[in-house]
Structure 1
Amino acid sequence: MQQITQEIITEYVEKNIPEFHRNRIEKLGKLELKAVLKRKNPYLFKVKNIVTASNFVETILDAYLSSQEETLFGGFLEGLAIYVCRHVYRGSKSSAEGIDLEFEKDGTKYIVSIKSGPNWGNSSQIKRMKDNFRKAKRILGTNTASSPNVVAVNGCCYGRDNTPDKGEYLKLCGQRFWSFISGNENLYTEIIEPLGHKAEEKNEHFLEEYGKVVNKFSLEFMKMFCDTSGQIHWEEVIQFNAGQV
């Protein structure tokens, strides 16, 4: 076991976080108003009494980007977790289906499926994860004679779950997860500072591109759904989103 230091984490973050910011801007640039409109609930926006095109556009854009960024950043955190575990316990990216990380600690082989937060999936997705755990356990149980004890773990990078023992697997969230893969109970807070490296500079660039998209979408929205007085025709918005083709 080796100690993980903030300098080591900072080195990883500085090398890999730019990809997260590039992907944010790239996905933003590829968006089309019609595609975003079709994925959001227009009734909700009417209930919120949105009366301007720019406010409508910002609302649907923010809702869409939030889910996209959650996915992108989840991938970054998964990579960071594997990197930390590789340094501390010689963990590695698993080749087994649905398993992100595997490593040995105190005579036990751990197989880990990494998710962003605790509320990540429905019952069918959890069932699939459990099936993947069973398959990986069977393979490792027969091929790894030196480590017959195999424990499955659903690791969540943030949040809490105060009943970690789920029977077939452990669910370790937030502090429990980062401590589990690093041996450092405070790592979950120590990674905050490196994550903020050049965040202001990167986000300024993103906000510039975001402003361009808001202006572009607002103009398109007004042409499609507003009359000459500037009033939104909600019936047309609903028809576009939910009407039969």
Structure 2
Amino acid sequence: MVELSELEALVRRCLDDFYSRRISNLSNLRLKELLKRKNPYLLRAMGLRTAGELVEHILLLHAQASDETIFGDAFVEPIVLAVSRGRKSGAKGIDIEIEEEKTYKAIAVKSGPNIFNASQTARMNDEFQELQNRLRQHLRNLGKQFDPILGCSYGKRVIEPSAKRRYRVISGQAFWQEITGDPDFYLKLMRLMYDYPDRQRERYLQEWANAVNRFTRDILNDFARADGTLDWEKIVQFNSSCD
């Protein structure tokens, strides 16, 4: 088990990385790249009237989609690797491999417990199967069972393998306890954040304000009429025209 002081330092480093990536994500974002990925009909249907409203809305959509991915990469996976007594996997779709006395755990780490659709579940099955096939002789020689796991950092979902999903799903407290042996580890992670996110947030809010100002300028320059109203036909042409 990682010492508490080491875990505290690790949590802080991971939060630093999380905020640095969030800020970089915003500073490198460009309006036209974002507009290409949004539904202009939905945006118009929402009754957005000002450049500021449009910018705030699409930035929020972008942040909601990207923050969970960034957090998983910058915070969850490094901590799982550090506390799991395992090693980083080189197998496609698998993050951590832990060799125990009687089992060989292969863990795909996810930030949240959103259930995969059928095609994603099938792909996950295939990725676990590919690793198991490579390890088959090694596991047979040692008499160890292969234990594929989809581990989620939060939530309460715990699902045993089935005919369609040939791996375990464990979430939240159960996941952290599985890899650390500590039933309170999920609480320690929250406690060790202290007020650090509050102090980091100021940097992020300044970058957010910069992005709002930059995008608002670009909307008015490129997608607004002379009287200041949004030109929705121009927006949809940019997004969807064959030209």
**Fold shared per TM-score above 0.5:** yes
Deviations 1:124-179 (A, max 9, x none): 23222211211222222312422421111111112232433335211111121111
* Alpha-carbon distance, 1:37 to partner: 0.7
Kept in 1: contact 2:83–2:179 (CA 8 A): yes
2:84 corresponds in structure 1 to 85
Q: Secondary structure at the match of 2:142?
A: coil
**CA–CA distance in 1 between the matches of 2:158 and 2:79?**
24
1:53 aligned to 51, 55, 61, which one? 51
Q: Secondary structure at the match of 1:244?
A: coil
2:157 corresponds in structure 1 to 161
1:203 corresponds in structure 2 to 201
Question: Residue type matched to 2:155 in 1?
Answer: G
1:152 corresponds in structure 2 to 148
2:218 aligned to 212, 217, 220, which one? 220
Aligned length: 239
**CA–CA distance in 2 between the matches of 1:162 and 1:151?**
15
Q: Secondary structure at the match of 1:220?
A: helix
Change beyond 3 A, Cα 1:37–1:77: same
Question: Residue type matched to 2:238 in 1?
Answer: F
Kept in 1: contact 2:107–2:151 (CA 8 A): yes
2:42 corresponds in structure 1 to 44
Kept in 2: contact 1:109–1:147 (CA 8 A): no
Change beyond 3 A, Cα 1:146–1:153: same
Structure 1: which 4+ aligned runs deviate by more than 6 Å? none
2:182 aligned to 172, 177, 184, which one? 184
Any gaps of 5 or more consecutive residues in structure 2? none
Deviations 1:41-78 (A, max 9, x none): 12222222111101100110111122122111011201
* Alpha-carbon distance, 1:83 to partner: 0.9
- With normalisation by structure 1, the TM-score equals 0.89
1:15 aligned to 13, 16, 33, which one? 13
| CA RMSD in angstroms, aligned pairs only | 1.9
Question: Residue type matched to 1:30 in 2?
Answer: N
Kept in 2: contact 1:107–1:147 (CA 8 A): yes
- With normalisation by structure 2, the TM-score equals 0.90
**CA–CA distance in 2 between the matches of 1:170 and 1:181?**
14
**CA–CA distance in 1 between the matches of 2:109 and 2:182?**
18
1:71 aligned to 69, 72, 95, which one? 69
**CA–CA distance in 2 between the matches of 1:120 and 1:229?**
47
* Alpha-carbon distance, 1:197 to partner: 4.8
Kept in 1: contact 2:158–2:168 (CA 8 A): no
2:192 corresponds in structure 1 to 194
Q: Secondary structure at the match of 1:127?
A: helix
Kept in 1: contact 2:51–2:219 (CA 8 A): yes
**CA–CA distance in 1 between the matches of 2:91 and 2:214?**
45
Kept in 2: contact 1:42–1:241 (CA 8 A): yes
**CA–CA distance in 1 between the matches of 2:88 and 2:143?**
18
Question: Residue type matched to 1:96 in 2?
Answer: A
Question: Residue type matched to 2:78 in 1?
Answer: G
2:114 corresponds in structure 1 to 119
* Alpha-carbon distance, 1:234 to partner: 1.6
1:142 aligned to 128, 132, 137, which one? 137
* Alpha-carbon distance, 1:98 to partner: 2.2
Kept in 1: contact 2:158–2:169 (CA 8 A): no
Deviations 1:73-126 (A, max 9, x none): 01120111111112xxxx111223322111134522211111122226432232
- Quick check: 225-234 or 199-208, which moved more? 225-234
Q: Secondary structure at the match of 2:9?
A: helix
2:93 aligned to 83, 98, 111, which one? 98
